[in-house]
Amino acid sequence: MSSTPSSRNPTPRRPSPPLAKALRAASGAVQAVLTGTPLTEALEHVPATLRPAAQDLAFHTMRRLGRARALLRLLVPRRPSNTLVEAHLLVAISLLDVRPEDKHAPRYAAHTVVDQTVAALGQNRRLQSFKSLANASLRRYLREHEQLMTQLGSEPEAHWNYPRWWIQRLRADYPTQWANVLAAGNVPAPMTIRVNRRRMLRNEYQSLLEGMGVHATPVGSDGLVLAHALPVTALPGFDAGWCSVQDAGAQIAAPLLQLQDGMRVLDACAAPGGKTAHMLELANVDCLALDNNEHRLSRINNTLQRLGLKAQLEVGDAARPQDWWDGRPFDAVLADVPCSASGIVRRHPDIRWLRQPAHVDRVVSLQKAILDALWQVVAPGGKLLYVTCSVFPAEGEHQAQGFMARHPNARRLPAPGQLLPASADAPPHQQHDGFFYALFSKA
């Protein structure tokens, strides 16, 4: 599982389209999340001219959703019957409730937010009857802001902007660090790229960026953390395969396997292909990229073609090797398994609102099945790297210990273990999402 760049920019960016149109598009995306659709999927249906502005507003709302919901309950005790109206109000409240320390939040004059929210509702004939409700509740927020803050008190979801179960789980897992983990997840992540060493040296690419006025800090063996985000089309040589967007935490995976030319390698849960590509950039290996979704497999193919790399692509379930394995063992297996994605909430702030405790339990069972199944395809003396982009130990250290207990012929090798997301004030070279890494060799 790979990460995508966040909507972070060096300074707050006002959308070019009228704010009412951007609010309407963002509210539609927020409504989709409230009904169970991932935000990135919802934003794909927004017209291209509106998408950047809608993304900024929707991402900000997801990072402030707990607080915005609590305020909406105080302002409108009876929940709006229409979820799209609710979404409009949540977006508006999150924009009004911007504090001075919110460095990356979009900023608009309060009266502009109120007027444009009412205008956005008026653009939809089905929602015009809710204009008065929106106007009255938002103006009440402006009048009674101090009293409303007092009424909020210390309600956990309003304070931390995470579901209550998520907060409780992290408090139990990290008694001394839980607050820092929550706070780190509320700060937009920097844009990090991986330079394709087959096309260009990192320091050469860094010089190209500096020539454009974009400061970049080296991270890992091939990465650069950009001081501010750019559209991928603005990255030098992106279409020619000079670089890829990939979080610094994800760039740890491929080097851990210490790949050598001629090795037979499996990327067992490969989509969207960032780690597959990194392995192929590091060595001339015979690589099988496996994924259980044909559409996602096509994304891997597009990535490899852009970078000038080749691998065998196959649709298959990592937990059922009997359906795709030819019996020839692999020298190295990368198992970047399905997980809660709780470590990448900096980039995907909607994840916290889409997940439920039962989802974590389901992926824990799936991870165990995949690990046990893949162990049989590892060659004697070969390695298996277990990876999740999760901060929950149930998906990390607990899985690793359980695997060792079930497989006496597994020896654990040095690997980072649990990586927690970096705090907002961490230096650029320490900025990464939350990951877990465990490396095993087969006796």
Decide if 389 is catalytic.
Answer: yes
Q: Helices 65-75 and 83-96: crossing angle, nearest 10°?
A: 110
Question: Three-state SS across the chain?
Answer: CCCCCCCCCCCCCCCCCCHHHHHHHHHHHHHHHHCCCCHHHHHCCCCCCCHHHHHHHHHHHHHCHHHHHHHHHHHCCCCCCCHHHHHHHHHHHHHHCCCCCCCCCCCCCHHHHHHHHHHHHHCCHHHHHHHHHHHHHHHHHHHCHHHHHHHHCCCHHHHHCCCHHHHHHHHHHCCCCHHHHHHHHCCCCCCEEEECCCCCCHHHHHHHHHHCCCCEEEECCCEEEECCCCCHHHCCCCCCCCEEECCCCHHHHHHHCCCCCCCEEEECCCCCCHHHHHHHHHCCCEEEEEECCHHHHHHHHHHHHHHCCCCEEEECCCCCHHHCCCCCCEEEEEEECCCCCHHHCCCCCCHHHHCCHHHHHHHHHHHHHHHHHHHCCEEEEEEEEEEECCCCHHHCHHHHHHHHHHCCCEEEEEEEEEECCCCCCCCHHHCCCCEEEEEEEEC
Residue appearing with tokens 């653009």: 123
Query: For the chain, how many residues are written?
Result: 443
Residue 155 CB neighbours (<10 A): 15
How far apart, in whole angstroms, are the C-alpha atoms of residue 2 and residue 336?
9
Both tokens assigned to 131: 């204009």
Catalytic residue among 269, 287, 339, 389: 389
**Residues 332, 286: Cα–Cα separation, whole Å:** 10
Torsion of CA 29, 33, 39, 43, to 10 degrees: -20
So which residues are the catalytic ones?
A: 389
